[in-house]
Amino acid sequence: GKRIVYIKYQIFAMYKADDDLEMTMVCHRPEGLDQLEAQTNFSKRELQVLYRGFKNECPSGVVNEETFKQIYSQFFPHGDASTYAHYLFNAFDTGHSGSIKFEDFVTALSILLRGTVTEKLQWTFNLYDINRDGYINKEEMTDIVRAIYDMMGKYTYPVLKHDAPKQHVDAFFQKMDKNRDGVVTLDEFILSCQEDENIMRSLQLFENVI
């Protein structure tokens, strides 16, 4: 898990800013590192190192969705990562600004690397809650799982049938939807994942999150 997270952090180290993008984007300076240190699980020294790397590779100080997709796709050359990257981008872009700032990046990284299990599950719930209504329905879960399957590509899952993601979701949704009302709440999601390690592993909650 940590190895994968570290490798995927290199996403940002692989990004070379596009000149046109740089010219059209307003440069963004992050909030004071003192404030970010208080809000995250990183020390000021770690934040300085992260910011140097982020700023070096993203001189404009922000990453838009198209660039994020290009970066992410380099990790999954045998699959199509664009749909998953779209959902992931929205989870990082908590302010719905259409771009990921350094603050967004380190806040998410802090949770995913050093957060409690509950914090990680809350973050993942938000990823799956595509329309942000506070619930996960079966369609949303299917969309995310299908996006993960598409991203991993045919080399990872050579024998999967087209309906495999749906079957996958049907089984887990039934376990998660404790009161059978057709939606999964945050409490149901956390409880189910903590009760059943197979759910966490099968939905690949942390391995593919970043």
Q: Which of 76, 67, 80 is nearest to 147 (CA)?
A: 80
| Rounded CA separation 147/143 (Å) | 6
Every domain of the chain with CATH number 1.10.238.10 lies at: 1-15+33-114, 117-209
What does the pLDDT average to over 104-129? 92
pLDDT tens sequence across 62-103: 999 998 898 888 888 888 999 999 999 999 998 899 999 999
- Nearest-angstrom CA–CA distance, 37 and 127: 24
What's the pTM? 0.78
pLDDT of the residue at 18: 40
SS (H, E, C) 126-193: HHHCCCCCCCEEHHHHHHHHHHHHHHHCCCCCCCCCCCHHHHHHHHHHHHHCCCCCCEECHHHHHHHH
Contact 95, 104 (CB under 8 A): yes
Q: What is the pLDDT of residues 145-178, one digit of tens each?
A: 889 888 887 666 555 566 677 888 898 899 999 9
Is pLDDT of 23 > 70? no
CATH domain 117-209 topology: Recoverin; domain 1 (1.10.238)
The superfamily (CATH) of domain 1-15+33-114 is EF-hand (1.10.238.10)
The token duo for 168 is 């996958």
| Average pLDDT value for the chain | 81
Q: Are 85 and 73 in contact (CB under 8 A)?
A: yes
Task: Pull the structure tokens for residue 79.
Answer: 């699959």
